[in-house]
Structure 1
């Protein structure tokens, strides 16, 4: 089967919300192969602690590729403790220029409780303007829903949970089985 005809792993939704001094990163648990749900309980959000420095990361895309990127991010954070922005930029540079890493198909949302960044293979390290970032097939739905709720009394976790529920209702590649990690700055 050629790469073009293979249905591929598709979809997920990851959201990061910063509100009230708290950052919440939430991800759904669905893994799909084409139009078939393979697993509904995957953990796409993780807490990593390189050198005692906590970072929460969520990923969309190929799982193996995302784990490779998370390992690289951990190494960058060990080399630059407490400097998430610098480690993220170094990872993005490597990802864009290294022949092996260039083939990786994933995106990351990372936070140390103060900053939130979206890291892409195009060399981007993006900080959201409105304290919300979302990636994956349901990312735009979750992003729009969360932005609409940011001025309400809901907590960061409440916004993330409700935005993910809306995304799960709209995106067939997103389910309501959430993994949620919280970190404060």
Structure 2
């Protein structure tokens, strides 16, 4: 049986990026195995947040490889993402991994797919995992029709997703990366 059940959401605003993940890990279609998993983490001197979805071991493998790329390229999120995607496409072992990453720094959100793609959302909102479409829809509505902060948007959108998606719970972890006051 496959471990699954993840919702990761990121929202970019003028002040930075907020990313949230739920805590549920599901075995198969009906058993919630864990309720407090931490699927969103801060890395690279607390300047980058990463969320992962998919098969647990595969997600951790990609997480570790991305962190190594980030170190190799001095914290350059875009370069590290592109280099990981290149490896992902070339390496026969990596191509079999069933996981996705959502990575962000204070000014960028990137989705790294299982096909070795690097995708930047048009509207500064991205989500992955089984509850991703619910969280994405809620976040887009909140971005467009409220003046909430990024943190408030991801918290409320994840709460909505948890009400709808059986693979998403309400034990939400939120991490933010703020832009420096001078705008750099």
| TM-score category (smaller protein) | over 0.9
Match of 1:113 in 2: 106
Deviations 1:87-117 (A, max 9, x none): 1011011112201111111101101111100
CA contact (8 A) 1:43 1:179 kept: yes
Match of 2:161 in 1: 167
- Distance between the aligned counterparts of 1:38 and 1:55, measured in 2? 28
Shift of 1:53: 6.6
The alignment of Structure 1 onto Structure 2 pairs a total of residues equal to 177
Shift of 1:54: 2.0
CA contact (8 A) 1:20 1:155 kept: no
- Distance between the aligned counterparts of 1:163 and 1:53, measured in 2? 24
1:177 aligns with 2:171: yes
- Distance between the aligned counterparts of 1:179 and 1:64, measured in 2? 20
Deviations 1:136-175 (A, max 9, x none): 0010010011001103111101110111011111110000
1:45 aligns with 2:40: yes
Given candidates 28, 31, 51, the residue that maps to 1:36 is: 31
Unaligned 5+ runs, structure 2: 180-184
CA contact (8 A) 2:41 2:51 kept: yes
Deviations 1:22-48 (A, max 9, x none): 211100000000110000000000111
Q: TM-score, normalised by structure 1?
A: 0.92
Which 4+ stretches in 1 moved above 4 angstroms? Answer: none
RMSD between superposed Cα atoms in Å = 1.1
Given candidates 86, 96, 116, the residue that maps to 1:93 is: 86
Match of 1:3 in 2: none
Q: TM-score, normalised by structure 2?
A: 0.92
Match of 2:182 in 1: none
Shift of 1:82: 3.0
1:154 aligns with 2:148: yes
